[in-house]
Amino acid sequence: MKKDFMFTSESVTEGHPDKLCDQISDAIVDRFLQQDPYSRVITECAVSTGIVFIAARFEPNANVDFTNVARQVIERVGYEQKEFNSKTCSILTSLRELPADRYHLFNETSLSDAEIEQITVNNQATVFGFACNQTYTLMPLPIWLAHKLAKQISEVRREKILTYLTPDGKTQVGVEYKNRQPDRIHSITVIASQNKPAKPDLQQLQDDIREAVIHPVFEDEDIKPDEHTRIFINPDGPFIKGGPAAHSGLTGRKNAIDTYGEYSKHSGSALSGKDPIRIDRVGAYAARYAAKNVVAAKLADECEVQLSYSIGLARPVSIQVETFGTGKISDEEITTLLEKHFDFRLAGIVKQFNLRNLPSLAKGGFYRKLAAYGHMGRVDMELPWEQIDKISVF
């Protein structure tokens, strides 16, 4: 295992076309669950110049206006360009009703343990959860910083501090590690799109981004850029307009950004656009919950939890733990503790995290907010899988 290395992670703003698609897909999931918490829905979205395409499969037990939901998300994100905006874009839909499935119409709050054992998963998946002691959120530092920069770009645009920015942007942070701990900031890249014509000029843009985005993000960080940190701001020159008018987007195409920035493994399955009965979504949350509690309990400095599910079974067919040589006890002992004290069964996860009711309890929906800036390590949302209430069992 490498001890000294450099690692980079990227993030994107909420206006990036892929993230726009994730938000539309999850806003539709929110709307279904707000009307009926037992709704089943799977939604994918694609965007391009002036076009939004939505493909959805759902049980017809809720009345959702897909087109209206998509237009609301586009407007909220801030697209007002002539080439792409909420009022004039064309929205195409391909909708198919799912057959009725009473098997998953269970009320998890009233199920006994034996009944939870009878609720099996309906798709196969291998999911990963990760935590480490590099940040107070127990997330890897590169993705944590990349998300902070991306959110700051959106913040200065919304607050009209940099009025010329459009919703689309990218960030990347490189961190040098010594003995598997962050040592210094190697590089920072920020790509921000501007209105057409490009105003201000590139030099002014670079100065503004340094002052309004980079400096505030690192103000409270323990590790800050130094004189040797390489900083790139729109290194290819002006990025005009951006968004769907410049590059297309697709639901589920930013899995690393949604999770751990490639510092740890992640599932190949998208997280967004799926109701809570999909184990490839909720299993990833349960795995993060387990890994975070292991690190919070100081059993390891880093912990990766892998859960493998097979159709027709309630429990994972495999639970594996990897602590990369940082464990205070063996990985096998940690695995045994997880099997004993954590419920990785589908109905158990849905019950513990209250996943069907969160869209009704959270103002403005729940899953849509997850769809930008990561599903893990959030401090702006109260996420049940981010709780460290299991440390006492270790």
Confidence of residue 241 (pLDDT cuts 50, 70, 90): confident
Q: Which helix or strand (DSSP H or E) is residue 12 part of?
A: strand 5-12
Distance CA 38, CA 122 (A): 15
Choose the CATH number for 111-134+279-393 among 3.40.1110.10, 3.40.47.10, 3.30.300.10, 3.30.420.40.
Answer: 3.30.300.10
Mean of pLDDT values over 237-255: 90
Non-local CB neighbours of 138 within 8 Å, separated by 6+ positions? 131, 132, 292, 295, 296, 377
H-type helices in the chain, by residue range?
17-35, 66-77, 113-117, 141-158, 202-209, 215-218, 255-258, 279-296, 331-341, 346-353, 358-361, 367-370
The answer to whether residues 386 and 376 touch, using CB atoms and an 8 Å cutoff, is: yes
Confidence of residue 107 (pLDDT cuts 50, 70, 90): confident
Q: In whole numbers, what is the pLDDT of the chain averaged over residues?
A: 95
Nearest Cα neighbor of 300 from 332, 267, 343, 342 is 332
Nearest Cα neighbor of 56 from 85, 92, 20 is 92
Q: Does 111-134+279-393 match 5-12+141-242 at the fold level?
A: yes
User: What is the largest distance, in Å, between two alpha-carbon atoms of the chain?
Assistant: 66
- pLDDT at residue number 332: 97
More confident residue, 198 or 33: 33
Mean of pLDDT values over 65-85: 95
The pTM of this model reads 0.96
- pLDDT at residue number 1: 64
Residue 97 DSSP symbol: E
Confidence of residue 101 (pLDDT cuts 50, 70, 90): confident
Whose tokens are 């109905």? That residue is: 347
Lowest mean pLDDT among 18-32, 169-183, 184-198: 184-198
The answer to whether residues 247 and 88 touch, using CB atoms and an 8 Å cutoff, is: no
Say if strands 125-132 and 302-309 run parallel, antiparallel, or are unpaired. antiparallel
- pLDDT at residue number 255: 96
| 3 state SS for 203-231 | HHHHHHHHHHHHHHHHCCCCCCCCCCCEE
The structural domains of the chain, with segments of one domain joined by +, span 5-12+141-242, 111-134+279-393
Mean of pLDDT values over 72-82: 94
Mean of pLDDT values over 8-24: 98
Choose the CATH number for 5-12+141-242 among 3.40.1410.10, 2.30.29.30, 3.30.470.20, 3.30.300.10.
Answer: 3.30.300.10
Asked whether residue 77 carries a pLDDT value surpassing 90, the answer given is: yes
Mean of pLDDT values over 174-191: 97
Q: Give CA separation, 280 vs 155, 240, 288, in Å.
A: 31, 37, 13
% of the chain residues with pLDDT over 90: 88
Mean of pLDDT values over 217-238: 94
The answer to whether residues 34 and 359 touch, using CB atoms and an 8 Å cutoff, is: yes
Distance CA 4, CA 356 (A): 43
Q: What are the tens digits of pLDDT across the range 323-382?
A: 999 999 999 999 999 999 999 999 999 999 999 999 999 988 999 999 999 999 999 999
Distance CA 268, CA 321 (A): 19
**In this structure, which long-range contacts are made by residues 328-336, counting pairs with CB atoms below 8 Å and at least 24 apart in sequence?**
328/298, 328/299, 328/300, 329/299, 334/294, 334/299, 334/300, 334/303
- pLDDT at residue number 164: 93
Mean of pLDDT values over 131-149: 98
Nearest Cα neighbor of 19 from 229, 273, 194, 263 is 273
The answer to whether residues 243 and 87 touch, using CB atoms and an 8 Å cutoff, is: no
Mean of pLDDT values over 4-31: 97
Q: What are the tens digits of pLDDT across the range 259-291?
A: 999 999 999 899 999 999 999 999 999 999 999
Asked whether residue 154 carries a pLDDT value surpassing 70, the answer given is: yes
Asked whether residue 320 carries a pLDDT value surpassing 70, the answer given is: yes
Nearest Cα neighbor of 25 from 47, 42, 50, 49 is 42
